[in-house]
Amino acid sequence: MPKDASAAGLLLGPGPPGNWDDERVSGPRVLRLADDTWLLWYYGRDRGFDRQIGLPSGRIGLARSDDGLTWQRVAGPCTQGAVLDPHPDPERFDSAHVGVGSVMRDASGFWLWYFGGDQERFRFGRFDVKGLRLRIGAARSTDGMHWQRIDGPHRGALLDVGPAGAFDQATCGWPRVLRLADGRWRMYYHSLDPARMQFAIGAAESDDGLVWGRLGEVFGPGPTGAFDETGVTLPELLPPGQHAGAGWRMLYQGVCRDGHRCIGLAESDDGLGWSRIRGPEPGGAVFAHAPSGSGRWDAFAVGTPCLVPMPDGHWRLYYSGADEVASGFADELAMVQRIGLAVSDGPDLTRWRRWQPTEDASRRG
């Protein structure tokens, strides 16, 4: 728990030495179960993980809580306590690294949609990196800890990269999956478009959660000077009926011109055509990184938003944060990523403040 302003919002940092996540933790996906058990899936890596992979993903792990605030790591069955490792087959799409995208629960257990990268090297601008060509897969579990992959048609993946010339021809990652009112499945994901050198969000639909048809790009970079002018990533979706307003809402991570990341908000009538809702933070964000130069744990980036509604009408926003490093945003592995929490001002999705342990205990329920 944070004890001073420099650690405001901080919930979970890297694990103990020798653990699968002793270098960084990121990408929280939180479920609150009916018995009031809280489960947190996240991705990260240990200090010995392949340094040629420049993304923060590596393996997937699990933590458990009674209140969503104090978390205990669960020792999983995979390497150094993880619950999902990269696949041992070097020909698979997920042989180099994996990261959690979405977790859902149904009557038979849990669904995991995850992204993975292979051993291929990929050139993007001046960068030549391994494992950047991401694809999306799925797995099933009865307990949330022991996972059985579902074998897809694209070297194990369910969703391949797009065709030549498409916005997602280079990579498809960080899937967010939900069920629509008519029973269809919809997936949102983001890609790095090499033609525009920008990030964008796409969508796909399925009748069974396994065979997916692309709907194309649904949300792109913001205007010049905005917090998201070089791209939008990592959406968190609220369909109609799951929030106080009408239509759809989407929290997402935006990438600024200088590489800093903040979280923004958009609205839609159908979940496909989106309009920005300008927030009170610089550049129109609704939740911004801590001040640059402050030395705080999330002074470079906040992102990977995950929303959990609370009984009194406010929201919890679980997020990833990254600190600033002298080498700049191009050296992502030099940053330390951790997991934090912000709370909304009632049902208002445009106003957030970092969690402090001194808050009244009634806000915990």
pLDDT in tens, 6-28: 689 999 999 999 999 999 999 99
Mean per-residue pLDDT, 283-299: 95
Q: How far apart are CA 181 and CA 189, in angstroms?
A: 20
Could you tell me how far CA 137 lies from the centroid of its own chain? 15
CB 68 within 8 A of CB 57: no
- CATH fold label, 5-356: Tachylectin-2; Chain A (2.115.10)
CA-CA distance, 174 to 130, in Å (whole number)? 17
Note the helical H segments in the chain.
Answer: none
> Which of the four pLDDT bands, split at 50, 70 and 90, describes residue 125?
low
Q: What is the pLDDT of residue 1?
A: 38
51: exposed, middle or buried (Cβ count in 10 Å: 0-12, 13-18, 19+): exposed
The CA distance from 343 to 66, in Å, is: 18
Report the percent of the chain where pLDDT is more than 90: 85
Place of tokens 């947190």: 40
Query: What Å distances lie between residue 241 and 67, 247, 343, CA to CA?
Result: 25, 8, 20
Is-contact 199 232, C-beta < 8 A?
yes
Q: Is 90 exceeded by the pLDDT of residue 78? A: yes
For the segment 310-343, what is each residue's pLDDT rounded down to a tens digit?
A: 999 999 999 999 999 855 555 677 889 999 999 9
Give me the residue spans of the domains in the chain: 5-356
Residue 221 reports pLDDT greater than 50: yes
Its pTM stands at 0.95
